[in-house]
């Protein structure tokens, strides 16, 4: 695509703060900038707002003891994120309950807290819980957001922020992608080029631009440069193509955490035109003493040689479930676990749906995974085998190897101990009684955790650690999660980071005083 130049001779319009991307981070930044006196424009590339945010389970991590939360974050991020960012995040988390209660004044949303410790038993894990938007009077997600197929309560959170954006009269423009940042002579951000039904426009941002345009789940070129594992199937939106990474890099931004993504493994839809992978069922997290307790997991995963290769029940499947698949065999010149297979027996097949499609796209018909997994057998996502030999033939392995794998697994289930991969005993379920069902599994990405580096004020930093003037980011773009993720942390990051960025951006002195005066008058 031919991009306009980074310098604009004139601007078509001016706002104080331009926020790019209308997911949760964009909403939080726009609301906060508005509440600090800025005239805000919120632009969204896609025809439907909500990004992947609207697909989310909807739980936000909060904790009221910033010191304990800080300790947890320091351990989970293993030195990849500076302490001052963790401090700012922990302080922001402690404000979220009161913040959400203020948002709820606009539409009567019911805000609840749920007990849930951190996913990993680091110091401070017991100081954390979830905040959720349980309900909003008169709101029905299926009816009101038919394009959004969510894990659970993400649409409630989106409805709440959208009500607040509308209530404040913040201007939102859909189908308006940001193309490139516009800079002044000192590499200071002065606006952004956008394309919309009005054509190509230079939008001036007199105080700052806040990039909240998500990650690079749908950018195959970035996957192949930063990840060894491939292919990795995006699950939720076609809009997140790394635009924010590219726009910030254009101005010299440093990058971090590009290797890290929230993923696990999942299925391919039989229709090659279906643009998303389908995530495996999300099981409760493995947290010592947590409620609900560890769940029974119906499946085992096998490599292409018919052998188990991993503990299927990671403490948090969507955080690390794909990492054991990330092995390239240079002798065989292939990824031995891409695809891998999940196998259940008939009892396991009946336990619960193995997958769930979650995406935000008005142009894609919803695919609902059946409760008993039988529709998926009809569709060919799962294949049925009446015997171990038939199962071995289906996946192209030696029947004796497969029989040995299943026998060893079933003996381990009887003993309640997995000496091969240390899967927790309470989660183990035999795979013993035919018919068997097998599905190919592929690595999937729900959201990426990296991008441009930012500081505790959410200013984007260049390769020497200096802020790029008037450029902020929030949300999963440039996420702070650098080693192990904390469930619910992405949503908190949208709100904590979005609020910091919006507030800071609104308080900058304008670079264009003439336009400032006009804005004040308008």
Q: Which residues bind ligand FAD (CB under 6 A)?
A: 20-26, 43-46, 51-53, 55-59, 151, 177-178, 212-214, 235-237, 239-240, 243, 358, 446-447, 475-477, 488-491, 494
End-to-end CA distance of the chain: 35
* Closer CB to ligand FAD, 360 or 373, in the complex: 360
Residue 400's H or E segment, with its range, is helix 399-415
Q: Do residues 262 and 449 lie in contact, with contact meaning Cβ atoms separated by under 8 Å?
A: yes
**What whole-number distance in Å separates Cα of residue 26 and Cα of residue 40?**
11
User: Could you please report the per-residue DSSP string of 79-146?
Assistant: TSS-HHHHHHHHHHHHHHHHHHHHHHTTTTPEEEEEE---SS--TTGGGEEEEEEEE-TT--HHHH-T
State how far the Cα of 430 lies from the Cα of 376, in Å rounded to an integer: 21
The DSSP bridge pattern shows strands 451-452 and 255-256 to be antiparallel
Task: Write down the least CB distance from residue 356 to ligand FAD, Å.
Answer: 8
Q: Which residue is listed with tokens 């991993």?
A: 310
Nearer to ligand FAD, 56 or 258 (CB): 56
Q: Shortest approach of ligand FAD to residue 114 CB, angstroms?
A: 12
Residue closest to ligand FAD when measured from CB atoms: 23
Minimum CB distance to ligand FAD, residue 48 (Å): 8
Report the C-alpha gap between 188 and 300 in whole angstroms.
53
* Nearer CB in complex with ligand FAD: 178/295: 178
How near is the Cβ of 257 to ligand FAD at its closest, in Å?
Answer: 13
337 or 359: CB nearest ligand FAD: 359
Burial of 399 (0-12, 13-18, 19+ CB in 10 A): middle
Give phi and psi for 182, each to the nearest 5.
Answer: -105, 130
Please state the separation of Cα 194 from the chain's center in Å. Answer: 25
Tokens of 297: 């997991």
Cβ 491 to ligand FAD shortest distance, Å:
3
Residue 450 or 488 having the CB closest to ligand FAD: 488
Least CB distance from residue 384 to ligand FAD, whole Å? 28
CB of 18 to ligand FAD, least distance (A): 10
* Minimum CB–partner distance for residue 495 and ligand FAD (Å): 10
| Token digits of residue 134 | 């349980």
**What is the rounded CA–CA span in Å between residue 95 and residue 126?**
18
d(CA 274, CA 53): 20
Residue nearer to ligand FAD on the CB measure, 63 or 177? 177
What SS3 class is residue 28? helix
For residues 428 and 444, which CB has a smaller minimum distance to ligand FAD in the complex?
A: 444
150 within 8 A of 55, measured Cβ to Cβ = yes
- Looking at the Cβ atoms of 246 and 423, the one nearer to ligand FAD is 246
Q: Give 226 or 316: the residue with its C-beta nearer to ligand FAD.
A: 316
Q: In angstroms, what is the minimal distance from the CB of 150 to ligand FAD? A: 7
**CA 301 – CA 299 distance, rounded (Å):** 7
Q: How far is the CB of 386 from ligand FAD (least distance, A)?
A: 35
Q: Kind of pairing, strands 199-211 and 13-20?
A: parallel
Give the residue with the Cβ less far from ligand FAD, 164 or 405.
164
């Amino acid at each position: 695509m031919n991009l306009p130049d980074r310098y604009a001779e004139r601007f078509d319009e001016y706002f104080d703060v331009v926020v790019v991307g209308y997911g949760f981070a964009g909403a939080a930044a726009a609301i906060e900038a508005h509440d600090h006196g800025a005239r805000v424009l919120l632009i969204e590339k896609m025809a439907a707002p909500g990004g992947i945010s609207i697909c989310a389970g909807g739980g936000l991590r909060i904790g009221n003891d910033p010191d304990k939360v800080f300790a947890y974050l320091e351990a989970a991020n293993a030195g990849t994120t500076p302490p001052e960012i963790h401090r700012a995040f922990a302080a922001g988390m402690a404000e979220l309950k009161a913040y959400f209660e203020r948002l709820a004044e606009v539409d009567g949303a019911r805000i609840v807290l749920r007990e849930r410790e951190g996913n990993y038993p680091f110091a401070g894990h017991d100081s954390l819980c979830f905040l959720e938007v349980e309900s909003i009077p008169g709101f029905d997600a299926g009816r009101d957001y038919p394009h959004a197929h969510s894990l659970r309560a993400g649409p409630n959170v989106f409805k709440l922020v959208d009500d607040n954006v509308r209530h404040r009269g913040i201007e939102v423009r859909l189908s308006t992608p940001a193309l490139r940042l516009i800079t002044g002579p000192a590499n200071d951000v002065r606006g952004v080029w956008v394309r919309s039904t009005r054509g190509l426009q230079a939008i001036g941002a007199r105080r700052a631009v806040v990039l909240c345009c998500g990650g690079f789940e749908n950018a195959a070129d970035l996957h192949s440069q930063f990840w060894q594992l491939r292919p990795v199937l995006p699950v939720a939106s076609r809009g997140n193509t790394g635009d924010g990474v590219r726009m910030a890099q254009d101005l010299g931004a440093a990058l971090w955490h590009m290797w890290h993504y929230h993923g696990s493994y999942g299925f391919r839809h039989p229709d090659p035109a279906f643009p998303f992978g389908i995530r495996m069922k999300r099981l409760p997290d493995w947290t010592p003493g947590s409620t609900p307790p560890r769940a029974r997991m119906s499946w085992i995963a096998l490599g292409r040689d018919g052998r188990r290769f991993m503990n299927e029940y990671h403490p948090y499947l969507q955080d690390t479930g794909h990492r054991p698949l990330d092995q390239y065999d240079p002798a065989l010149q292939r990824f031995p676990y891409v695809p891998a297979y999940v196998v259940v027996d008939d009892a396991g097949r009946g336990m619960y749906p193995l997958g769930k499609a979650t995406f935000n796209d008005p142009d894609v018909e919803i695919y609902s995974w059946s409760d008993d997994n039988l529709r998926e057998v009809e569709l060919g996502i799962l294949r049925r085998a009446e015997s171990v030999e038939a199962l071995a033939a289906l996946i192209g392995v030696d029947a004796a190897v497969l029989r040995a794998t299943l026998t060893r697994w079933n003996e381990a289930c009887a003993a309640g101990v997995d000496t091969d991969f240390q899967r927790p005993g309470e989660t183990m379920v035999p795979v013993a009684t035919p018919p068997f069902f097998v599905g190919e599994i592929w690595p999937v990405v729900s959201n990426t955790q990296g991008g441009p580096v930012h500081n505790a004020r959410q200013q984007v930093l260049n390769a020497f650690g200096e802020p790029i003037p008037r450029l902020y980011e929030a949300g999963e773009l440039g996420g702070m999660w650098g080693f192990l993720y904390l469930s619910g942390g992405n949503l908190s990051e949208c709100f904590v980071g979005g609020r910091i960025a919006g507030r800071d951006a609104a308080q900058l002195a304008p670079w264009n005083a003439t336009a400032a005066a006009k804005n004040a008058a308008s």
